[in-house]
Amino acid sequence: MSRRLVALGALTLTAALALSACAPGGSEPEGSAADDLGLVSSGTLTVGTEGTYRPFTYHDETGALVGFDVEIIEAVAEKLDLEVEFAETQWDGIFAGLDAGRFDVIANQVSINPEREEKYLFSEPYTVSPSVVVVKEDDDSISSFDDLDGKKTAQSLTSNFYELAEEAGADVTPIEGWAQAVELLRQDRVDATVNDKLTFLDYEKTDGPTGLKIAAETDPARSAVAATKDKTALIEAIDGALAELREDGTLAEISEKYFGADVTE
């Protein structure tokens, strides 16, 4: 365990003992020391995630919730000696759920951008991947983001990809996720969709040949665990856990499992 986590644990224990000494009969009053530090108090880290965004967060053939982000946050929780409880939420409502306190953090390929940084805290990134424009294989009319001007794209309205498409001048059709975007693209109801390159590569790997291709891509974006501004100590603890997982090779191992390459840095 890192020195930062050891120090955090010692501080939590000291605060807990102080509260216990002040409580009648030595019992701890409502609101634990972990709460005061911005950490979870029940021993359970509640995580907002979609559960429909393969390969990051989805259900396998047995119905179990699996995926790259799922395994990353589970490994983080294990380092912090916490249980994990997932709250599955559609992407368009996931930040509202975080704001309302329905979960402690989001682990769902949340891209870090200036607008989000104004309102939320982010851990150190655990995924580095570009955004891409996906079109039908026989479509040569789009070869850059600029070519999206006046074209129809399918995007979730609260996603980073929506912002990229809108900035390029696209006519955006709102959708709930990748599967719906692909369906509209196959039906020629839209010209393109913007999404994560890893999502497309996984789709090609599991469902190919798909008849789709990457027409353009951005510089790599960084994705991280997101929390509200009052969770500073929790995000610092998560950063410590991620650093240990990077050092001991766990992040690379999970990445290799899903992508055949290390996409964590």
Whether residue 108 sits in one domain with residue 8: yes
List pLDDT tens digits, range 102-161.
999 999 999 999 999 999 999 999 999 999 999 999 999 999 999 999 999 999 988 889
pTM of the model: 0.71
**Residue 137 located in a structural domain:** yes
User: Which of these, 125, 83, 104, lies nearest to 246 by C-alpha position?
Assistant: 125
Contact criterion met (CB below 8 Å) for 226 and 120: yes
> For residue 71, what is the domain's CATH number?
3.40.190.10
Whether residue 246 sits in one domain with residue 203: no
pLDDT band at 202 (very low <50, low <70, confident <90, very high): confident
Residues sharing a CB contact under 8 Å with residue 127, sequence separation 6 or more, in sequence order: 68, 109, 198, 222, 223, 224, 263, 264
**Residue 232 located in a structural domain:** yes
Q: Is the pLDDT of residue 226 over 70?
A: yes
Whether residue 117 sits in one domain with residue 11: yes
Whether residue 236 sits in one domain with residue 157: no
Q: Is the pLDDT of residue 21 over 70?
A: no
Structural domain harbouring 76: 3-128+222-259
Mark residue 42 as left, alpha or beta (left: phi above 0; alpha: psi -120 to 50; beta: remaining): alpha
Of all residues in the chain, the percent with pLDDT exceeding 70 is 85
pLDDT band at 39 (very low <50, low <70, confident <90, very high): low
Quick count: other Cβ atoms within 10 Å of Cβ 19? 16
Burial call 106-141: b when 16+ CB within 10 Å, e when fewer:
bbbbbbbeeebeeebbbbbbbbebebbbbbbeebee
- What tokens were used for 80? 């912090």
Contact criterion met (CB below 8 Å) for 28 and 13: no
Domain count, the chain: 2
C-alpha dihedral over 57, 58, 63, 64, to 10 degrees?
-20
Instruction: Please provide the average confidence, as pLDDT, over all residues in the chain.
Output: 87
User: Which of these, 36, 4, 262, 234, lies nearest to 122 by C-alpha position?
Assistant: 234
**Residue 248 located in a structural domain:** yes
